[in-house]
């Protein structure tokens, strides 16, 4: 193999990753799988797509070695092949926000100003959790909480928060978190809690960013 052939081969392999990630649906699938392993049916439901379409996207991701699959009876479960796959998604997201003004404009128009709900950074939440002044609330679906969550967090999925609000102890500020910066669950939780007279803020990132930073994670037994 000559130098040109070598470079064509290497960059061709790199391009497989880029091609696999070049779909909005596949990027969203990677972010969903960063929460934990999921069956294809649940992933299709999250995407609002037929199972056949979702399976096709997962096949492309699997061929690029970005996800892995296991069979459990009649169900196929998918997971990220490596924690660093999420780093790829996070880098794409950061570059888009910094260099594609129209991308950030869409985010801003939908979520509003990000500082309106006084978000906490990860470092601030770590300090608040240590001194016991914060009640950490995970508002993702229960299966995602079970797959991994911030230590000490209470699980109340956003769909159940209104009916379970009375179960939250008073006297501490609630810090809600969900899947990531584009997930609206934490926004909705803080708005609901504040409307009920509770002190509440949101984590500025989500669970995958927490885990990617090397911070402690608990798994439900």
Please identify every residue annotated as catalytic.
Answer: 178
Tracing tokens 């960059």 back to the chain, one arrives at: 11
> And the tokens for 129?
């959790």
C-alpha 184, offset from chain centre: 11
**Measured distance CA(12)–CA(219) in Å, rounded:** 38
- Do the strands 154-155 and 200-202 form a parallel or antiparallel pair, or are they unpaired? unpaired
**Measured distance CA(91)–CA(115) in Å, rounded:** 22
Helix residue ranges per DSSP H, the chain: 3-20, 24-33, 40-47, 51-63, 84-99, 101-111, 122-131, 142-147, 161-164, 185-195, 207-212
> And the tokens for 51?
């199972």
H or E element, residue 39: strand 38-39
Tracing tokens 């939250």 back to the chain, one arrives at: 168
* DSSP letter string, 111-157: H--TTTT-PBPHHHHHHHHHHT-EEEEE-S-HHHHHH-B-TT-EE--
């Amino acid at each position: 193999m000559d130098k040109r052939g070598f470079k064509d081969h290497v960059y061709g392999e790199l391009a497989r990753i880029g091609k696999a990630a070049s779909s909005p649906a596949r990027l969203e699938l990677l972010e969903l799988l960063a929460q934990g392993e999921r069956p294809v049916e649940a992933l299709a439901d999250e995407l609002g797509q037929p199972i056949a379409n979702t399976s096709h996207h997962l096949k492309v991701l699997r061929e690029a070695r970005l996800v892995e699959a296991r069979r459990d009876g009649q169900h196929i479960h998918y997971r990220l092949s490596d924690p660093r796959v999420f780093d790829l998604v996070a880098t794409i997201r950061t570059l888009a926000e910094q260099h594609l003004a129209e991308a950030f404009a869409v985010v801003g128009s939908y979520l509003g100003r990000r500082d309106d709900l006084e978000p906490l950074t990860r470092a601030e939440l770590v300090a608040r959790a240590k001194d016991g002044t914060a009640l950490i609330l995970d508002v993702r679906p229960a299966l995602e909480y079970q797959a991994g969550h911030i230590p000490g967090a209470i699980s109340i999925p956003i769909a159940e928060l209104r009916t379970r609000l009375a179960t939250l102890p008073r006297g501490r500020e609630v810090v809600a978190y969900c899947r990531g910066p584009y997930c609206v669950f934490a926004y909705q939780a803080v708005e609901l809690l504040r409307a009920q007279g509770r002190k509440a803020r949101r984590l500025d990132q989500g669970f995958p960013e927490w885990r990617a930073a090397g911070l402690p994670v608990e798994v439900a037994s």
